[in-house]
Amino acid sequence: MFRTPRSLPALTGLIVLVPTMQAQTRIDTNINAKIRQEGMERSQILKTMHFLTDIYGPRLTGSPNHENAAKWAVKQMESWGFVNGHLEPWDFARSGWLNEEASGHIVSPVKDNLVFEVLAWTPSTQGPVTAQAVHLISPTGPQAPANPNAGGRGGQQTPTFLGPTEDELTTYLTAMAPKVKGAIVLVGASVTVPFQEQAPAKRLADEAARQRYNPVPNPAPVAGGRGGGGGQRGAGAPQGPVRLTAAQVATKINDFLVANAVAVRINDAGREHGQIRAFNYSGYDETKTIPTVVLRNEDYGRIARILSDGVPVTLRFNIVNRAYPEGRTSYNAIAEIEGSDKKDEVVMLGGHLDSWHSATGATDNAIGCAVMMEAARIIKAIGVVPRRTIRVALWSGEEQGLLGSKAYVAQHFGTAEDPKPAFAKFNGYFNVDGGTGRIRGASVFGPAAAAAFLSRHLSQFEDLGVYGATATTSRNAGGTDSTSFSAAGLPGIGLGQDGIEYNSHTWHTNLDTLERIVEGDVKKSAVAIAYAVYQLAMSEEMLPRFTPETMPRPPAPAAGAAGPAQ
C-alpha cells in the first residue's frame, strides 16, 4: 500500500519547484521550428522501417533476425554521428528459434490450402506428414463466475468454464489415446468470434486527450496506468470437487500428445477475418512438445464441422524449424549522443526491437524503435550539443516479459532500495510501444512536478494532437519497457497513442507489416518526442523525482504466475 500521509507533504514541496524549473527551461521557439522542419521534411523513419521489417523481420528474441536487426540499428545510428554504439549482452537462458518453412493442406474430402502460423519453440515435422484429423475437446466443469474487472487489451470478456477434475480429464484422454496416435489433432472446440456492431475508435478525441494528459490543475500521481495494479478478483469458485487450472490442463494435454506420438497439433486462432496470433510453447524446449500450428479460425471451423458430420478429414503439413543455441545470449542495442557539461547525466529513449514471428513486427514494435531513433537523429541533425548524454536503447526479450530492459536497469542503475551510482544521474526514459498512432501524451513515474514539466513542453505540440503528461506512482512492471524503469523507482515515461488498428488488427498478428504504418502520425510523434528529450537534456535541474521518504513501495512479489498458453 502507498503511504499517502507521508507522501502528500513532500509532493507539495516538489510541486512548488515547477516555476523555477520552467524558468530555467524556457520555450525555445527556434529549436521547436528546427525540430519540426527536420522531422517533417527529412524523416528517415520509413527507411529505418524498411530495414527493420522487410529485411530483418520478424525479430524473435534469440533469433539471427533479431541480432542482425540490432547490429544494423547500431551501425545506422553511428552513421548519423552517434557514439558508443554497441550490443549489450544479457542472458536469455534458452536457445533461439526460427521457423524456416511451413505449408499445410486439406487433402480430403476436399483439396485446399490452409492458412496458419507455427507456434514458436516447437519442433519440425519429420518431413511432409499426411494423417487423419482428430478433434480433441477437453471436458470442462461448470461456468466460472463472471469477473467484473476482466477484459483485455483490445478484447472483450466471454464466458469461461472451470476445468475438469483430474479423473474426468484422465478418463477422456484414455478413451482418446487409440484415436490420436500418429494423427493430426485439433485441440479445443472451434471458437465463435463475437460480431462487433461498432468497430473500436481509431483515434482519441482531442478533448478526451486533453482531459487525460493535461487536466487543469494537473492532479497528484495515481497508481494506475499501463502495467499498473489490477482491480479485485471476481467471486470465488463454486464449492465442489478440486478442478484443474487451465495451465494444468494444458500441461497434461501436451504430455498426452507427446506420449501418443501425435504428428501435428492444431490450435484455433480464434480471431476474425484471418487474423492469427501465434506465441510460443511455454516450456521453450522443442524436445518436450510436438509440431504445433495456429490455424486461422475460418479453416479450423471448417475442418471441425466436417469432422462433426462423421466425415474423415486428411491433412498434410510440412514444417521446418531451427533452434539456435547461441541465442541463449541476447542483446540490447545501444548508441548515444554524448553530452557536454552534464554528460555524466543521462536521458534515455527507446522501445523493444524484438517481435513475434507471425509477421514482420512493424507496429509492434519496429515503429517504436524507428520513431525513437528518428527523435534522436533530429536532435543530432539540427546541430545542438546537449548538456546531458542522450542514449537510445532498443530492447530484446520484451515479448517474453521485459527481460532485456529489466536486465539493463538492474546492471546499470539498481533500484531505489539498492541504487548503483548511475541511479542518481538518470533523468528519464521515454518509451513508445503502442503502434503507429501519433502520441497524445505521456505518463511519468514521479511526482506531479515531473508531469507538469513534461506537460509544459509536450503541449507545445497541441497542433499535432499532443497535450501533456500525467504522473503515476505505480511500480508494477508489466506491459512495456518503461515500467522496468518505474519498477526500479526511476522516471519511466510511457507515451500514450491513438490506437488506429493496433488492438483490433495488428498487435501480435500476421497482419503486422510495414503497410500498416501511418507516415504522418509517426513523423509527428518523432518531432514531439525530440523536443521533450531535448528539454530534459538541456534543463539546469533534473526532472523532479520522488525522495527516499516519498518513494512508493515496490509491489510484493507475486505468489506465482502461469506461463504463456500454447
Eight-state DSSP code of residue 25: S
Q: Answer for the pair 458, 468: CB distance below 8 angstroms, yes or no.
A: yes
- 3-state class (DSSP) for residue 424: helix
Taking each helix axis from N to C end, the angle separating 448-458 and 519-538, rounded to the nearest 10 degrees, works out to 120
Residue linked to cell 533530429: 378
Over its C-alpha atoms, the chain yields an Rg (Å, rounded) of: 25
Residues paired with 391 in a beta bridge = 336, 348
Q: What is the largest CA-CA distance in the chain?
A: 78
- The residue whose grid cell reads 518513494 is 551
Q: Is the pLDDT of residue 266 over 60?
A: yes
Closest to 423 (Cα-Cα) out of 550, 546, 537, 532? 546
pLDDT of 254 above 60: yes
Residue 306: left (phi > 0), alpha (psi -120 to 50), or beta? alpha
**Nearest partner of 436 among 358, 515, 374, judged by Cα:** 515
Q: Which pLDDT score, from 0 to 100, does residue 216 have?
A: 64
Which stretch of DSSP H or E encloses residue 519?
Answer: helix 519-538
User: How do residues 5-60 score in pLDDT, each as one tens digit?
Assistant: 333 233 333 333 334 444 445 667 799 999 999 999 999 999 999 999 999 999 99
Averaged over 108-131, what is the pLDDT? 98
**Distances, alpha carbon 153 to alpha carbons 41, 495, 504, in Å:** 35, 16, 9
Structure letter (DSSP) for residue 240:
S
pTM score of the predicted model: 0.89
Q: Using CA atoms, how far apart are residues 14 and 26, in angstroms rounded to an integer?
A: 19
**Per-residue pLDDT tens digits for 82-105:** 999 999 999 999 999 999 999 999
Kindly report, residue by residue over 458-504, the tens digit of the pLDDT: 999 999 999 999 999 999 999 999 999 999 999 999 999 999 999 99
- Beta strands at 426-431 and 184-187: parallel, antiparallel or unpaired: unpaired
Identify which has the larger pLDDT, 22 or 405: 405
User: Quick one: CA torsion of 391, 392, 397, 399, rounded to 10 degrees?
Assistant: 130
Distance of alpha carbon 335 from alpha carbon 422, whole angstroms: 17
DSSP category for residue 280: B
Taking 3-state DSSP, the helix, strand and coil percentages for the chain, each rounded to the nearest 5, stand at 35, 20, 45
Residue 468, C-beta contacts closer than 8 angstroms, at least 6 positions apart: 210, 213, 214, 218, 441, 442, 451, 454, 455, 456, 458, 459
**Residue where the block lists cell 478433434:** 135
Distance CA 551, CA 425 (A): 17
| Closest to 43 in 3D by CA, of 367, 314, 304 | 367
The pLDDT score that the predictor gives to residue 260 is 97
Q: Return d(Cα 252, Cα 258) in angstroms, integer.
A: 10
Rounded Cα distance between 425 and 254, Å, is 49
pLDDT single digits (tens) 204-252: 999 999 999 977 656 667 665 443 333 333 344 456 789 999 999 999 9
- DSSP label at residue 51: I
